[in-house]
Amino acid sequence: MHKAVCPGSFDPVTNGHLDIVSRASKLYDEVTVAVMVNKSKKGLFTLEERMEMVRETTADYGNVVVESFHGLLVDFCRDRGIPVIVKGLRAVSDFDYELQMAQMNQGLAGVETLFLSTNPLYSFLSSSLVKEVATYGGDVSGLVPKTVLSRLTERLERDSQ
């Protein structure tokens, strides 16, 4: 069985993430979405909420499992026998860091990284931008799934009180 992992914070999951996960799910028999435990930065959503949103929005793909991870991604991969990391490359600005990480992961553990070119519709899209725009009342309905939009609106309303 050919397996791959899509890692990230998913705070919250966006249409850009889902584009990559859905394409990865067509290339591999099983795709694990590894949701990072954020130690340093405090997220808007808890780990459980982030995982739940990914589960809800990837359920239809049929071969996607959602797990949490902390520490080294290559250790996560080794423990589960996953040889490939799939990532989306949005722009040149992503490239330097992503290349370093890919080379490190290859060197450390022989884990390969497959880069998928981002759908141009989402090349500007990040979770932080979605949160920023939504905080100031901007319309992000085309950037995140419906279920994420309602959780986001609810959370921002709660936090502003």
For the question of residue 151 being annotated catalytic, the response is: no
Strand duo 3-8 + 112-117: pairing: unpaired
Active site residue 17: yes
Range list of β-strands (E), the chain: 3-8, 30-36, 64-69, 84-89, 112-117
Please tell me whether residue 118 binds ligand ADP under the rule CB under 6 A: yes
Annotation marks residue 23 as catalytic: no
Measured CA to CA, the distance from residue 146 to residue 71 in angstroms comes to 31
Least CB distance to ligand ADP at residue 135 (A)? 15
Q: Is 41 one of the catalytic residues? A: yes
Euclidean distance between CA atoms 27 and 38, whole angstroms:
28
User: Which residue in the block uniquely carries the two structure tokens 């791959």?
Assistant: 4
**77 CB-side CA count, 13 A:** 22
Indicate the DSSP class of residue 60. G
Measured from the CB of residue 34, what is the shortest distance to ligand ADP in angstroms? 10
Residues of span 124-153 touching ligand ADP by CB under 6 A: 125-128
Q: Which stretch binds ligand ADP (CB under 6 A): 24-32, 67-75, 85-93, 144-152?
A: 85-93
Q: Measure the CA–CA gap between 105 and 108, rounded to whole angstroms.
A: 5
* Site pattern 41..80 for ligand ADP (x: CB under 6 A): ----------------------------------------
In the complex, least distance from residue 161 CB atom to ligand ADP, rounded to whole angstroms: 26
9 lies in the site for ligand ADP, by CB under 6 A: yes
Question: Which is closer to ligand ADP, CB of 92 or CB of 161?
Answer: 92
Site for ligand ADP contains 32 (CB under 6 A):
no
Cα 160 from chain centroid (whole Å): 26
119 SS3 class:
coil
Which stretches of the chain bind ligand ADP, using CB under 6 A? 8-10, 16-17, 19-20, 87-88, 90, 118, 122, 125-128
